Amino acid sequence: MFQHFQLRLTALCTLVTGVILVILSTICLYISEMGIRNQEGISFQTNLNNFYQNIQMQTSLSHQWLRQTQHNYQFLVRITDNGSPLFFQSFSADETAEALLDTAEALACSQHGIDVKAVSSNRTLMKHAEYSMQADGQNYYASAAQIPVSGGVLGVMILHPLTVMYSRILKQRFIFALADLAAMILFCIFFWFFIARIMRSLQENRKKQMQFVASASHELRSPLTVILSNVDAVRQKSMAADDQFLDTIETEGKRMSTLIHDMLQLANADNHSWSMHPASTELDTLILQTFETFEALARRKELHWKISIPDEAIPRCRCDAERIQQLLTILIDNAFSYTPEGGTVLLSLKASGSAARITVSDNGPGIPDDQKKAVFQRFYCIDHSRSQKGHFGLGLCIAQEIAKLHKGQLLLADTPGGGASFTLVLPFE
């Protein structure tokens, strides 16, 4: 399913990117082609002006100059003197070129009123016209002119083939098409691997979600089975001590309630809908209140419950006091559960730079290095027997989410001499 989705999404992204790329390339190509055409037109006009100026300045036209000019400017030129072609031109006439020049002369006469073969001795001003024409599938710039000279008029017909210009345009189009094709292939490869990377994250999230549902179902099934079996025993009156069954049902019901409450909190964290009420808080006061809350439990468990607060004042911290106390309750409850009788649990507070560090440390069995990251995963328990005592493996995950909400960190380290130490790092105001 994921691979099929990856293929479709890659094709869609490549298609959309390709369409945008082609549109932008077409616009750039159009602008570039307009520049080439304008450049060709300006070049033709410049060369034409130079040619006409040279003709007007020269008293006689040489064959060598005319051939050199035609070669340099890429012109096809026909010059007539009072309607008669020049001797050297008639001698070296090319049939194809002559046919093109005839067509150009006819257009000049019919559309622009310039007859290059006209005979006149009264003209004092030069008359010329420039236009475009197409013949034999080729495009040309053309110019027809009547230039007055002593004793008559010179008729000039010039054709400039646009083969080179169109060759440049076609070459440019080919380069643009090739570049677009190469870009689309590269985009396709990029999108394939990029989407694959994203899909891996989605697959992992889906896998974790399925594991979460499976673990939650398993954890809920255990107390539910106990409840149903006890209800059935009460109805059948298999034993006289009904209060024992009711106590068991109540205990398992509370376990289910705790698990559901924890799962709802994680769901709110995942949806970013966890309510927060931050306020300026005295952390030393909060730590003392939390310590006093657990004194009675520590005595019942026969644990050495200690606190460490610096003598100097700790800067205030902007946080949700209830959420921080909830986080500390999770850490302390874990420490109490894993620390054997006669062990020590320490709650400490100290300032470190621009942050406060609240640590709950114990001298219990500790956490192996290869499991330190895993303890923050949902439904992960180092000692699976703890799940029978109300520990479902969600507490540390909830604590980590609370730390993230406060832009803080929840760190895990070994306690010197053995045990585990969880440290909450909170930035000051």
pLDDT tens track for 40-67: 999 999 999 999 988 888 777 788 888 8
Terminal-residue alpha carbon distance, the chain: 48
Distance CA 159, CA 47 (A): 12
Distance CA 372, CA 273 (A): 28
Among 156, 159, 160, CA closest to 147: 156
| Predicted confidence (pLDDT) at residue 266 exceeds the cutoff of 80 | no
pLDDT tens track for 244-258: 667 777 766 766 776
pLDDT tens track for 329-385: 889 988 998 899 999 999 999 988 889 999 999 998 888 888 877 787 766 655 544
Q: Are strands 317-319 and 420-427 parallel, antiparallel or unpaired?
A: unpaired
Distance CA 265, CA 270 (A): 9
Q: 322 CB contacts (<8 Å, ≥6 apart)?
A: 277
The mean-pLDDT minimum among 45-54, 143-152, 409-418 falls in 143-152
pLDDT of residue 170: 94
pLDDT tens track for 2-46: 778 888 889 999 999 999 999 999 999 999 999 999 999 999 999
Distance CA 134, CA 318 (A): 82
pLDDT of residue 387: 42
pLDDT of residue 145: 92
- Residue 327 or 124, more confident: 327
pTM listed for this prediction = 0.53
Q: 123 CB contacts (<8 Å, ≥6 apart)?
A: 146, 148, 153
- Distances in whole angstroms, Cα of residue 201 to Cα of each of 131, 192, 198, 206, 207: 65, 14, 5, 8, 10
pLDDT of residue 381: 59
